[in-house]
Amino acid sequence: MREALDRDLNRITEHFLRMVSLVREELQLATAGLVEQDVEKARQAVRLDREVDALELEIENEVLAAIARHQPVARDLRFLATVLKALTDLERAGDYAAHVAEDALALAGEPPLKKYIVLGEMAERIETMLDLLAKAIAERDLQAAERVLKTDDDVDDLYEQIVRELLTYMLEDPRVLSKALTLMRVARSYERLGDHLENIAERVFFWLTGRLEGPAAAEG
Amino acid sequence: MNPWREAWEAAAEGLVLVEAGRVRYLNPTAARLLDADPLRAEGRPAALVLRHHRLIELLEAGGSARIALRGRRVAVRAQGGRLYLRDVTEDERLRETLEQERRMLAHEFRTPVAGLAGLIEVLDGDPAADEQAQALSLLREEVARLERLARGQGQAHTPPWRLDELRPRLERLLPGARELEWSTPHPLTADRDRAFQVLLNLVENALRYGRPPVRVRTRREDGAVAVEVVDAGPQLADYERLFVPGRRGVHAAGVRGSGLGLALVRRIARGWGGDAYGRRLEEGNAFGVMVPEGEGEEDA
């Protein structure tokens, strides 16, 4: 009985890790589409998002079937609840990566307003968050989950920085307004993506500790 | 320890050995690249240790690929339950740098070689003795300069000189340069070969993408001499972008060019301790370099 439950839990973990990895690739492609003005990569990112969406449904079914079949308790149940709730956040994270790719397609072919250094840095931090999240889940690593939350603070700081920068551009030259607004939306997509990953990290914290409050509250 | 295992523990290449979906062995290099704990990894499902869908797909189907793993570029080869991982980040960076160097050198030779061809045509056309002597002397000078350029050498220190001393060479190599207006009274001490490269690139750009009249001028500013080429073209969308290698202006569509000229100008200017700039002036666009005064003197 226990063996069958473990088998199901392992499969669900593997599929969830695959979904994290797919979102990571989607983000990389979308960012390359933006920074390198690579239209093909941006299109690949949009296509990959469909795969992420399909995987979400598949994992959701697996989780519901596992609950019905094994009626798990304690940590096992917390894990399944974590995955079930985290799925929505992860799917939304993928949607935001797809939004970045769509905006990259809209911006391609025009000279960039500036070199997208800060946006690239935001994307790098989010990739790190996804790596840490995968590690936290695969290795039940509480520290990795906590580092996800800390990295999200960096993403928020970078977001503030780019918003200020774009506002300056807009005030100096109204002709760049439309491009700057699109870039503002891109920055917002990255920022929201980071927030969804933060939510997942909080749920992982709950799964591993059984405590509902996040690590920030626990520290305070 | 088993000698085979001991050998893999010290290997620079990463190895992950998987049997029946579980990690049987993971060497320290692979553990570092995958950010995994080698002691905990053994016996665990491969998907939990690899945590990357492409690695899992390779493990199942075999083959090879290059993937991004935690900020590194990694070449992966999969064969019968074994994954070999090689960090190629530095290799790729080096290859990119070399390719850029090659393109820059090709760019630096293209215009002078076309100018040399023009001089050979002059010699072919049975010129008067003084014109022949002048063309031959320019040919020798330019060939010597290109030779120094190819060897990566600068010219030995010369006493202060004026930019318009380069004018005859420039006009012979770039026929459009005869229309330029010159106002370059400030003495320079920077290497003449490099200064000629800068001037050739700036003037060629102004003639190709800007509008006449094109002026070459020097200014003194904050302990540096600015050498700049000004044309009467319209405002550009982004000046800084033009200094990025391979990036060209929106007006450059359909005009032959590699987008490397200004990147090279900047590199030379920074080598002097100065910088290159492009800016909008009331009368047009200025592209130039700031050369700190006294540059080159310590090389004497």
Percentage with pLDDT > 70 across chain B: 91
On the question of pLDDT at A215 being above 80, the answer is: no
CB contact under 8 A, B53 and A138: no
Q: Which of B35, B241, B249 sits opposite A112 (nearest CB)?
A: B241
Predicted ipTM beyond 0.90: no
Give the residue among A87, A120, A133 at the shortest CA–CA distance from A190.
A120
CB contact under 8 A, A18 and B47: yes
Q: What local confidence, expressed as pLDDT, does residue B253 receive?
A: 44
Q: Is B210 helix (H, G, I), strand (E, B) or coil?
A: coil
Other C-beta atoms within 10 Å of A156: how many? 16
CB contact under 8 A, A112 and B238: yes
Res. B21 pLDDT band, cuts 50 70 90 = very high
Nearest-CA distance A102 → chain B (Å): 22
What is the tens place of the pLDDT at every residue in B156-208?
A: 566 788 888 888 888 888 888 888 899 888 888 888 888 888 999 999 999 98
A interface mutation test: which of B22, B34, B44, B51 has the most A CBs within 10 A? B51
Give the span between the Cα atoms of B267 and B252, in whole angstroms: 22
- Which chain B residues have a beta carbon less than 8 Å from that of A124? 71
**Which domains does chain B show, CATH number per domain?**
3-87 (3.30.450.20), 157-299 (3.30.565.10)
Q: What local confidence, expressed as pLDDT, does residue A217 receive?
A: 43
For chain A, the domains span 2-214
Is A138 an 8 Å CB contact of chain B?
yes
Closest chain B residue to the Cα of A52, Cα to Cα:
B53
Residues 96-135 of A with CB under 8 A from B: 111-115, 124, 127-128, 131, 134-135
Give the span between the Cα atoms of B283 and B181, in whole angstroms: 14
- Which chain A residues have a beta carbon less than 8 Å from that of B37? 139
Would strands B215-221 and B181-183 be described as parallel, antiparallel, or unpaired? parallel
Between the alpha carbon of residue A68 and those of residues A80, B28, B228, the distances in Å are: 11, 41, 77
On the question of pLDDT at B40 being above 60, the answer is: yes
User: Do A22 and A51 touch, CB atoms closer than 8 A?
Assistant: yes
On the question of pLDDT at A46 being above 90, the answer is: yes
- Which chain B residues have a beta carbon less than 8 Å from that of A10? 45, 48
CB contact under 8 A, B40 and A17: no
Q: What local confidence, expressed as pLDDT, does residue B83 receive?
A: 97
User: Dihedral of CA A21/A25/A30/A36: which sign?
Assistant: positive
- Which chain A residues have a beta carbon less than 8 Å from that of B242? none
Looking at the domain covering A2-214, what would its CATH class be? mainly alpha
Q: How many CB pairs under 8 A join A and B?
A: 54
With 0.80 as the threshold, say if the pTM is over it: no
CB contact under 8 A, A139 and B48: yes
